[in-house]
């Protein structure tokens, strides 16, 4: 039996323009993330609160096969998918290979490739544990 992978998002920047982070699978950096800014966990407009969650494979009518983040208090329908700016998130986690350059809207780029790499890294798994660290692992432990 294969062990479930450990997936972590380490938040690097939190601002009114969005929440930028790095996503690791089993301790290895895989891609970058973009979520909405922190807005008291309000549906469709807020990032996921820091903590530990269960994720399960699902099929989105719009984005195809992906993973959904379960058990976020007061929220549902949070998935990992492609997109570039906060306008694309609706409370979900966008994946990218690089951050948008200075002067551009805060966001991620090369999203399709990042989503493909994410799904490939999780091939053969139907679920995983997600840990979201606020401003680095040391901050989450404090």
Q: How many domains does the chain have?
A: 1
Whole-number average pLDDT of the chain: 92
Asked, for residue 29, whether it belongs to a domain, the answer is: yes
Residue 121 lies in a domain: yes
DSSP code, position 48: P
Answer whether 33's CB lies under 8 Å from 94's CB: yes
Model pLDDT for residues 38-51, shown as the tens digit of each residue: 999 999 999 999 99
Nearest Cα to Cα of residue 33 among 16, 45, 47, 54: 47
Q: Looking at the domain assignment, is residue 115 inside a domain?
A: yes
The gap between the terminal CA atoms of the chain, to the nearest Å, is: 35
The CATH number for 78's domain is 2.40.440
Whether 3 has a pLDDT exceeding 80, the answer reads yes
**60-64, 102-106, 132-136: range with lowest mean pLDDT:** 132-136
Instruction: Report the alpha-carbon distance of residue 10 to residue 74 in Å, rounded.
Output: 22
Across residues 23-50, what is the average pLDDT?
Answer: 96
How large is the average pLDDT for residues 118-128? 97
In a domain, 1, yes or no: no
* Host domain of residue 32: 6-141
């Amino acid at each position: 039996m294969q062990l479930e992978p450990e997936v972590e998002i380490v938040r690097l920047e939190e601002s009114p323009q969005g929440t930028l982070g790095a996503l690791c699978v089993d301790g290895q950096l895989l891609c970058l993330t973009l979520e909405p800014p922190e807005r008291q966990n309000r549906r469709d407009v807020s990032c996921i609160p820091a903590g530990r969650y269960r994720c399960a494979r699902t099929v989105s009518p719009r984005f195809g096969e992906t993973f959904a983040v379960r058990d976020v208090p007061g929220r549902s329908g949070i998935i990992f998918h492609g997109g570039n700016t906060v306008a694309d998130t609706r409370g979900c986690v966008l994946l990218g290979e690089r951050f948008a350059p200075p002067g551009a809207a805060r966001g991620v780029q090369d999203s399709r490739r990042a989503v493909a790499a994410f799904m490939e890294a999780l091939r053969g798994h139907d679920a995983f544990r997600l840990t979201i660290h606020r401003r680095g692992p040391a901050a989450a432990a404090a």
